[in-house]
Amino acid sequence: MMAATIVRKCSLCFATARQLKSLYPMSRRLQTSSSDNEYVADIVISGGGMVGAAMACALGHEELLKHKRVILLEAAPKREFKLPEAFSNRTCTLSPATVKLLNSFGAWEEIQKMRCQPVHRMQVWDSCSNSLITFNQEEMTQELAFVAENDVILEGITRRLDAVKDKVEVWYKTKGKQYIIPGVDSSEDNSWITVHLDSGKTIKTKLLIGADGFKSAVRDASKLHVVSWDYKQAAIVATLCVSETENTVAWQRFLPTGPIAMLPLSRSISNLIWTTTPENAKYLLQVEEERFVDAVNDAFWHERDMNSVAVSVGNFLTDISKNLLQGDTSSRQLPPTVTGIQAGSRASFPLGLTHSSNYVRSRVALIGDAAHRFHPLAGQGVNLGFGDVTCLRDVLTKAVYDGSDPGSLSYLVDYETQRQRKVLPVIATIEFLQRLYNTNLTPIILLRSVGLQATNTLTFVKDRIIKEATS
Ligand SMILES: Cc1cc2nc3c(=O)[nH]c(=O)nc-3n(C[C@H](O)[C@H](O)[C@H](O)COP(=O)(O)OP(=O)(O)OC[C@H]3O[C@@H](n4cnc5c(N)ncnc54)[C@H](O)[C@@H]3O)c2cc1C
């Protein structure tokens, strides 16, 4: 029985190889040819940001894919990275599922050798009422997440890419200029994709993975429908000095103009992500540093937005919960005082949503921001991108194990289904929260205060939220 299966798999492999040869007969010959500038690869990944680099690394470290030639294209030059003393203002909160992926190819160890900070507790509260929600594992000893600088994450992945350079080639300073997609640019649906590079070279590939960010040219060339809008908000980021000794709590306060968050980076350094109006963002970017620090402290501490009705109802609910239900009413902690900012660390980013209605078509798959980009208020963007990497690696491994073509739509559709089941509810929840907190109307403030307070009281609901956010 087993022998028959092996024979069937081998014959399938030979059949596939024969088909591919007839499809593209000069493939192997062209692979090493540079005279005519034409190359061949099983998989091309366009975009070597955190998500694209992780994809290349995951494929390179997968035993079953070891005979596949993978090329990663990155428009930027290769960086000579040396960990600076000053912290970068671009950071991400990494979920346990992300840590698991990074661990699977050794990048997590590299990141830890550099630096990252555990998060033991999260506190989210409303500036219009006393309602709050806290998340922490028992005794606050287990990490809910980690905060790491984007540069450090990318460097950790790059070091592990170097370990598989015989299987994965990284072409830096190389931009995909034009993508010829079968079914879009030709009527033949199953022929290979041609990637024209800005260097004048051409690559033929069975599968093109678009990891080229939210303005994805791969997505545009694939004619995939996109839903997008501008939040008409900007995110101000900065590196803050804080009066802390432990600093393992992530803080987020919802203001009517948008959420302000402070994420721990070390015992005395935190990262600021402040979503606000474009006008306020402009002011915050140019005001002198002392005033900026005052504005940040004020945003975390002021009581100007308090709504008396919501405060009374919230207090009443807390009492009921404490006395009758004996629920979790984890006490409010006070955020650390900001004492200064790292010079020159302020920057502003426009915020928007871009979602591709499909993540795949024949021979194309989108991952990371190329497929989905949304509000950073839940710190989920790159985590969902890394989730795409895990899922696509598994789907492609299965395709190869089955002796199939990795660009086959029947496998890629499986990737799309699994990921949209995960991504769409996250986007819907974030959009709901974003609108819910973007108002001063008393009935809405009341509704969200009761909701937040009730969720904080019900331990099983919180456990479910943690499970969903970290898986
Ligand atoms: C203020 C802010 C805070 C955030 N905080 C968090 C957080 O806490 N947690 C979280 O999970 N997410 C967070 N995010 C989201 C996160 O930063 C993004 O989801 C993530 O950076 C997307 O990574 P990516 O690799 O998909 O895309 P990108 O980082 O955009 O990378 C795309 C890469 O493709 C390359 N490229 C583009 N075009 C081409 C081409 N034609 N050829 C070759 N290369 C090309 C680019 O040079 C780039 O390197 C935040 C976002 C913002 C704005």
Instruction: Determine if ligand 1 sits within 6 Å of the CB of residue 368.
Output: yes
Task: Note the residue count of the chain.
Answer: 471
Instruction: Determine if ligand 1 sits within 6 Å of the CB of residue 221.
Output: no
Of 149, 346, 382, the one to substitute when testing ligand 1's pocket (max ligand atoms within 8 A of C-beta) is 382
Instruction: Determine if ligand 1 sits within 6 Å of the CB of residue 76.
Output: yes
- 354 and 372 Cβ atoms separated by less than 8 Å: yes
Q: Are strands 168-171 and 121-126 parallel, antiparallel or unpaired?
A: unpaired
Mean pLDDT of all residues in 35-44: 88
Instruction: Determine if ligand 1 sits within 6 Å of the CB of residue 176.
Output: yes
Of 369, 383, 426, 427, the one to substitute when testing ligand 1's pocket (max ligand atoms within 8 A of C-beta) is 369
Instruction: Specify the ligand 1 atom closest to the Cα of 76.
Output: 47
CA 174–ligand 1 middle distance (angstroms): 17
20 by Cβ neighbours in 10 Å (0-12 / 13-18 / 19+) ranks as middle
Tens digits of residue pLDDT in 353-402: 999 999 999 999 999 999 999 998 888 899 999 999 999 999 999 999 99
Instruction: Determine if ligand 1 sits within 6 Å of the CB of residue 385.
Output: yes
- 99 and 157 Cβ atoms separated by less than 8 Å: no
Tens digits of residue pLDDT in 154-193: 999 999 999 999 999 999 999 999 999 988 877 666 689 9
Provide the pLDDT for residue 311: 65
Q: Comparing 12-21, 63-72, 139-148, 377-386, which segment has the lowest mean pLDDT?
A: 12-21
Q: What angle do CA 324, 326, 331 make, to 5 degrees?
A: 120
Mean pLDDT of all residues in 10-34: 39
CA 48–ligand 1 middle distance (angstroms): 9
Q: Calculate the CA dihedral of residues 386, 388, 391, 395 and round it to 10 degrees.
A: -130
Residue found under tokens 């590299």: 110
Tens digits of residue pLDDT in 246-284: 899 999 998 988 899 999 999 999 999 999 999 999 999
d(CA 330, CA 449): 15
Instruction: Determine if ligand 1 sits within 6 Å of the CB of residue 381.
Output: yes
Which residue owns the Cα nearest ligand 1 atom 37? 212
Provide the pLDDT for residue 458: 66
Instruction: Specify the ligand 1 atom closest to the Cα of 385.
Output: 26
315 vs 87, higher pLDDT: 87
Instruction: Determine if ligand 1 sits within 6 Å of the CB of residue 371.
Output: no
CA 347–ligand 1 middle distance (angstroms): 16
Provide the pLDDT for residue 436: 76
CA 76–ligand 1 middle distance (angstroms): 13
Report the half-sphere exposure of 340 (CA within 13 A, side-chain side). Answer: 4
Mean pLDDT of all residues in 41-46: 97
Domains in the chain, start-ordered, CATH in brackets? 19-77+172-225+357-438 (3.50.50.60), 84-159+231-352 (3.30.9.10)
d(CA 142, CA 118): 9
Q: Encode the chain in three state secondary structure.
A: CHHHHHHHHHHHHHHHHHHHHHHCCCHHHHHHCCCCCEEEEEEEEECCCHHHHHHHHHHHCCHHHCCCCEEEECCCCCCCCCCCCCCCCCEEEECHHHHHHHHHCCHHHHHHHHCCEEECEEEEEECCCCCEEEEECHHHCCCCEEEEEHHHHHHHHHHHHHCCCCCEEEECCCCEEEEECECCCECCCCCCEEEEECCCCEEEEEEEEECCCCCCHHHHHCCCCEEEEEEEEEEEEEEEEECCCCCCEEEEEEECCEEEEEEECCCCEEEEEEEECHHHHHHHHHCCHHHHHHHHHHHHHCCCCCCHHHHHHHHHHHHHHHHHHCCCCCCCCCCCCEEEECCCCCEEEEEEEEEECCCEECCEEECHHHCEECCHHHCCHHHHHHHHHHHHHHHHHHHHHCCCCCCCHHHHHHHHHHHHHHHHHHHHHHHHHHHHCCCCCHHHHHHHHHHHHHHHHCHHHHHHHHHHHHC
What is the pLDDT of the chain when averaged over all its residues?
Answer: 86
CA 50–ligand 1 middle distance (angstroms): 7
Is the CA virtual torsion 138, 139, 140, 141 positive or negative? negative
Of 158, 161, 171, 212, the one to substitute when testing ligand 1's pocket (max ligand atoms within 8 A of C-beta) is 212
Q: Comparing 73-87, 337-351, 434-448, 457-471, which segment has the lowest mean pLDDT?
A: 457-471
